[in-house]
Chains A and B, each alone.
Chain A
């Protein structure tokens, strides 16, 4: 793997020279500075507590107590009751759109490697084993017991699309975490693509395309589940998946997505 070239634009990539990189035999592949500058990472201090949206891009009248208007409406609708929170790493801007096209539709699965570090960091932060979480726990005097680990469940594709695309992008992202993956869900039928629907169509409470894999039910019961998906748009997909998982009795369901938009 040529780590000196950008994964996306193939341009030269300046790996900053530090002691760690100087002595490392290989560097992890990644993006160049120019590509990184075009991305819009979401600050986790300024995001919606439920859906992880970047609140700085939202007008003030849509925010209440650090929760965006959409999430309020979800709460009132009563769907996805177990759904705790979603964390996204980037906002879905033009660059992210191009990335997603290359990653999902053109099939360049290697691009996921560019987000390995960010994805893992976000996960560590969610389960509280990042340095800051450790410090917080130490202050509270219970630094031995971090949060319980998640059961990682990628959002599946329908069978036809899986065959056609050749891989499941959510599973590829889930693999980055290095945790055991449980394929607890399956997706049925020939549905219109989520990405081809408009907001109204997405939010309509239609038939739930997800089904629970009965063999995985025991692994979920009483545990915290982390759903992995590529994009959080309206939250409909994740909440439908969450409703399906409810039958297996998880403790709560959170989500980690690459982009929010």
Chain B
């Protein structure tokens, strides 16, 4: 009788709807199914609905003065400036909507978010699971990497979060492979979330090569490599907003990267995408204070890797004073000592990253360098339509000097390249940004050294901290 009852329920729901909605959270109007079908499932308790925008009442004073605070249940936005009101056609009243996640379809206070609360869909056969080795990565891990990988896997398997604090170029990606393989073998869903599209584009082929039989899905704005129901997802944090209670293991690359800890929505998205109690693995070279404190006080498991995989030290950034660069740029003059350095490097056939603080400065500097007769100079910034092409050209060596904003400060590996920061005293270059920039240099085993120069007009505290950070890491690495 129990069995028949179960079968009754099984046939009662629509499998297509189940596959569509499982692990996701969608607006009710977005579902490509008929109203009756959805209503039926809601009545059966297979779909849970909740309000899109809810009011949160905190304290007596706001209630007294009538000011309300809202929260968007899709993106977690609570900033009162990011909500608008409109006279709504559906509820015929003034309706609040979230402005923060508008480009995924508007969430109003009268709209409902639907999640699947019925049984989990039966997944297709996965022949690759029985293979002897899922991960076919050929490289070998150093002792330190191996130790970190083992501890990471152990910790995640027991459901505890883990921090990998490793210097740039210590092979963080490879450390993750055993843990990913283990999870895949257990039939879990794994996501690797990163803050940037560039990083997703760089990691996707690496994971595809390492796990050739596993369907890998890459999610970023405008991505073409989306596989439905893929067990391994590499995604930008933005794209995870649509998921809800879906992933068993979450790896977050570069936790401290700019949009991640500046935009609380992304953290909300990642937390929502993970199943309840799913362990997180944080990978970073410069942990943000909360993780650092948790790790140092022992609340968070973790490991620190202070040595690069090739055993050479991180290049220590040198600070060079170039005077008032803002003023000289305004006059259209590139500071002498900077120019001399660039010319010297380009005569030695060295590829250069030049980091600048703003897009307007980037345009000016690129133009001036091109005018100086240095060939193959290009500028790249976040809204550049040819951004990916330019980065690819730089990797191939067709572009020798790449002037860039901080978008390329992480995740991009070009062997033999050296880096300069033009105007390092700008507040945008904080400790972690500068450490990351230093990490771009000396990535390959053949050319483990290189220069990192901070061209500045007055040394800032962040610059000093970055230098100290790298020195300390090198000391801990026994170098």
Enumerate chain A interface residues (CB-CB to B < 8 A).
1-3, 5, 102, 106-110, 162-163, 165-168, 171-172, 175
Contacts and interface: CB of A to CB of B under 8 A. Distances in A.
Contact of A166 (B82, B90, B99): B90
B89 A166 contact: yes
B84 A110 contact: yes
Contacts of A3: 81
B31 interface: no
Interface in B75-109: 79-82, 84-90, 95, 97, 99, 102-103, 106, 108
Contacts of B95: 166
B370 to A, nearest CB: 26
Contacts of B102: 102, 106-108
8 contacts: A2-B82, A107-B102, A108-B99, A109-B86, A109-B97, A165-B89, A167-B87, A172-B87
A175 B81 CA distance: 20
A45 B108 CA distance: 42
Nearest to A172: B86
Contacts of A166: 86, 88-90, 95, 97, 106, 108
B106 A106 contact: yes
A106 B87 CA distance: 15
Contacts of A108: 84, 99, 102, 106
B89 A110 contact: no
Nearest to A113: B84
B427 to A, nearest CB: 14
Interface of B: 79-82, 84-90, 95, 97, 99, 102-103, 106, 108
A107 B81 contact: no
Given A107-B106, A166-B97, 8 more contacts: A5-B81, A106-B103, A107-B86, A109-B85, A109-B86, A166-B88, A166-B106, A166-B108
Contacts of B84: 108-110
Nearest to A163: B89
Contacts of A110: 84-86, 99
B86 A167 contact: yes
A114 B89 CA distance: 22
Given A106-B102, A107-B97, A109-B97, A163 B81 contact: no
Nearest to A2: B81
Contacts of A106: 102-103, 106
Contacts of A5: 81
Nearest to B104: A106
A120 B108 CA distance: 28
B198 to A, nearest CB: 22
A5 B95 CA distance: 22
B97 A162 contact: no
A109 to B, nearest CB: 4
Nearest to B87: A167
Contacts of B90: 163, 166
B31 to A, nearest CB: 15
A244 to B, nearest CB: 22
A162 B90 CA distance: 9
A214 to B, nearest CB: 22
Nearest to B84: A110
Nearest to A168: B89
9 shortest interchain CB distances as A-B pairs: A2-B81, A110-B84, A109-B86, A107-B106, A167-B86, A162-B89, A106-B102, A166-B89, A163-B89
A1 B87 CA distance: 17
A1 B81 contact: yes
